[in-house]
Amino acid sequence: MATLYRNPSLSQPPQGGSGDGYTTKQEVDTRVPPKAAPVLAEISVNGVAIPESDILGEAQNHPARNPGEALRAAAEALVVRELLWQEAQRLNIAVVLACDETGRFETERDAAIRLLIEEAVHVPSATEEECRRFYDRNPEKFRSEPLYEARHILIAAAREDSETRAKARERAAGLCRLLGDQPERFGELAQANSDCPSREHGGNLGQLSRGSTVEEFETAVAAMAEGEISAAPVESRFGFHVIALDRKVEGNRLPFEFARERISAWLEASAWSRAVSQYISVLAGRARIEGISLKGADSPLVQ
pLDDT score of 103: 82
Residue 145 has a pLDDT of 86
* Number of domains the chain contains: 2
Per-residue model confidence as pLDDT tens digits over 130-174? 999 999 999 888 988 899 999 999 999 998 999 999 999 999 999
pLDDT tens figures, 3-51: 444 545 444 554 544 445 445 555 655 565 555 555 567 999 999 999 9
Number of Cβ atoms within 10 Å of the Cβ of 217: 21
- 182 and 234 assigned to the same domain: yes
In a domain? residue 283: yes
In Å, how far are 48, 113, 114 from 79, measured between CA atoms? 10, 13, 16
Whether residue 234 is found in the same domain as residue 151:
yes
| Residue 168 near residue 157, CB atoms below 8 Å | yes
| Residue 231 within any structural domain of the chain | yes
Instruction: Provide the pLDDT for residue 301.
Output: 45
Same domain, 211 and 273: no
Question: Do 68 and 114 fall within a single domain?
Answer: yes
**Are 112 and 193 contained in the same domain?**
no
Query: φ and ψ at 199, to 5 degrees?
Result: -60, -30
**Is the domain of 272 the same as that of 245?**
no
CATH number of the structural domain spanning residue 197: 3.10.50.40
Question: Average of pLDDT values for 175-186?
Answer: 96
On the question of pLDDT at 181 being above 50, the answer is yes
Structural domain boundaries enclosing 285 = 43-123+266-302
E-assigned strands of 178-266? 204-208, 234-236, 239-249
159 and 229 inside one domain: yes
**Whether 152 and 243 share a structural domain:** yes
Q: pLDDT tens for residues 92-124?
A: 998 888 887 888 889 999 999 999 999 999 988
Is position 29 within any domain?
Answer: no
pTM: 0.56
